[in-house]
Amino acid sequence: MPDGRAFEFPLGHKKFEVVIADDNGLELWLDGCLRKRREPSSREPLYVWTNVELLWEEHRYVEARFFPSSGKLEVTVNGEVVDQRAV
């Protein structure tokens, strides 16, 4: 399970979490499984993404961007912002 600051989002019958890990890396979890991780870096933003298949060939493209210098986190699904916050 993820360690750090976790933000949970529903997505159809699934749930995904965007985690800013204790080491300031960015992680994307889907149904309790780590799908992507970006190691901490001086380059911004840290970026993770995954394609999620829901029921009957219904797909969602989930992206998260984290800007460590400002603490800004942005999460999109199919290009639409679903969350934007300072963390």
Cα–Cα distance measured from residue 48 to residue 24, given in angstroms and rounded to the nearest whole number: 13
Residue 1: the pLDDT is 57
- pLDDT < 70 stretches in the chain: 1-2
Residues sharing a CB contact under 8 Å with residue 33, sequence separation 6 or more, in sequence order: none
Residue 4: the pLDDT is 78
Query: What residues are paired with 37 via a beta bridge?
Result: 27
Contact 5, 13 (CB under 8 A): no
Domain coordinates of the chain in residue numbers? 5-86
Q: Please state the pTM of the whole predicted model.
A: 0.91
